[in-house]
Amino acid sequence: MAEVCAIAEVECEPEDAAIFQAHALILEDPELYEAVRARIEEHCINAESALSDAADMYVALLESLDDEYLRARAADVRDVTDRVLRILLGVAASNGVELMSPSV
Average pLDDT estimate for 60-69:
95
Average pLDDT estimate for 78-104:
75
Query: DSSP class of residue 40?
Result: H
Q: Give per-residue pLDDT as tens, 3-59.
A: 777 777 778 787 777 777 888 888 899 999 999 999 999 999 999 999 999 999 999
Phi-psi region of 87 (alpha: psi -120 to 50; beta: other; left: phi over 0): alpha
Residue 30: half-sphere exposure toward Cβ, Cα within 13 Å? 0
pTM comes to 0.74
Q: What number does CATH give the domain 2-89? A: 1.10.274.10
Check if the beta carbon of residue 58 is closer than 8 Å to that of residue 32.
Answer: yes
Helix (H) or strand (E) segment spanning residue 42: helix 30-43
